[in-house]
Structure 1
Amino acid sequence: MQDAPKKRRKRPPLSPEGIETAALALINREGLAGFSMRKLGAELGCEAMSLYHYFPSTGHLMDALIDRIARQYLPMPAASLPWRERLRAFCIRWRAVALANPGFFGFLATHRMNTPTALRAIDGVIALIREGTASDEEAARL
């Protein structure tokens, strides 16, 4: 008599969005130092190697998280508002991102953002600050 086949635990299919959501939750709960692809895989019920099908490296995943967060504060506030009000609205959004992502925000605030979405956000902020300052250099420094 043959043994009955083992029942495999059903897990939701992996997707980039699901992986990003789980990664942010893990990072915000345990901090960036407590993050690993192995821990993320365990959280998602899969092997870490399965995640590399969607993100070739941890760096690619971090860039995807930066893009995901950058989309939260894009587009820039309405151009019809005075520049100070738009800057204030942007800062309020940026603070909300910090509060929503305490484990990831330090990385986000200090990491070189070079993804298309993040660069658009940075360009928008520099243009906004440039409206109220004397020079491009000063706007970039701020």
Structure 2
Amino acid sequence: MTRLNRDRVLHAAVALADTAGIEALSMRKLAQELGVVPMALYKHVANKEELLDGMVDVVVGEIDPPDPIDVDWRTRVRRRILSARRALLRHPWASRAIESRTAPTPVTLGYMDSTIGMLRAGGMSVDLTHHVMHALGSRMFGFAQELYAAPPAPDPHAQAAALRSMAGAYPHFVEIALRAEHDGGSVVGPGCDDQFEFEFSLDLLLDGFERLRAQGWTSTGAA
């Protein structure tokens, strides 16, 4: 049998969360999956919080490395963030795990540091880069915090009736809801294409960052 080590524990935990969900993850269940007693795990992770930290590092470690320095900053950052999104989509539980961490993990810090490096190499000031990182927020890791998660798709006839009943009080909301194409798996909302919405927002941000960089923008208003 393969010897138990930290890497094996973390990858087994990721696989368990992928198949059963993060809610099903426990030290006891993980020990069962690995065929060991629970106490054996504590030689490699001190507790469940450290386990989750390590799982986040595994996922973030799947993000592609940056493009060569001769690629323009916008393309480098965009490709890296879309790689992060692919990693997060492979592990649907990971966004909640990342949000739950109270401090960046080592691999997460490395990813953030390299993103800052790409921005700085692209000619952004420390001041602008600081605000860019805030503006990107969780999008840097491939997910966006939406206002409301989409409920299970209702019966189309019931949905149409519900929208008709809302039209008088909320005409603009209903107009948008009726205009959108339907994507039953969307987390943004019924009728939204998650990938399109993610890239649309990301491109708006990147274009705005480039305009500010070209203008020599500073947070004090002095170029």
Deviation of the 1:74 alpha carbon = 5.6
Deviation of the 1:92 alpha carbon = 1.9
Alignment partner, residue 140 of structure 1: 133
TM-score normalised by length of structure 1: 0.79
**Unmatched segments (≥5 aa) in structure 2:** 137-223
Contact 1:22 1:40 in 2 (8 A): yes
Contact 1:73 1:93 in 2 (8 A): yes
TM-score normalised by length of structure 2: 0.53
Residue 86 of structure 2 aligns to a residue in which SS? helix
Q: 1:110 to 1:55 in 2, by over 3 A?
A: closer
Q: Distance in 1 between matches of 2:68 and 2:102?
A: 27
1:15 to 5, 11, 14: 5
Contact 1:67 1:117 in 2 (8 A): yes
Q: Distance in 2 between matches of 1:101 and 1:87?
A: 21
Q: Which has the larger radius of gyration?
A: 2
Deviation of the 1:24 alpha carbon = 0.3
Contact 2:64 2:83 in 1 (8 A): no
Aligned length: 132
Deviation of the 1:132 alpha carbon = 7.0
Alignment partner, residue 8 of structure 1: none
Q: Distance in 1 between matches of 2:124 and 2:35?
A: 51
Contact 1:63 1:115 in 2 (8 A): yes
Considering Cα pairs closer than 8 Å and 6+ residues apart, tell me whether 1 or 2 has the greater RCO: 1
Alignment partner, residue 58 of structure 2: 68
Alignment partner, residue 88 of structure 1: 78
Residue 72 of structure 1 aligns to a residue in which SS? coil
1:78 to 58, 65, 68: 68
Instruction: Give me the CA root mean square deviation.
Output: 2.2
Residue 2 of structure 2 aligns to a residue in which SS? coil
Cα deviations across residues 79-109 of structure 1 (Å, max 9, x unaligned)? 1110111012102211111121112232125
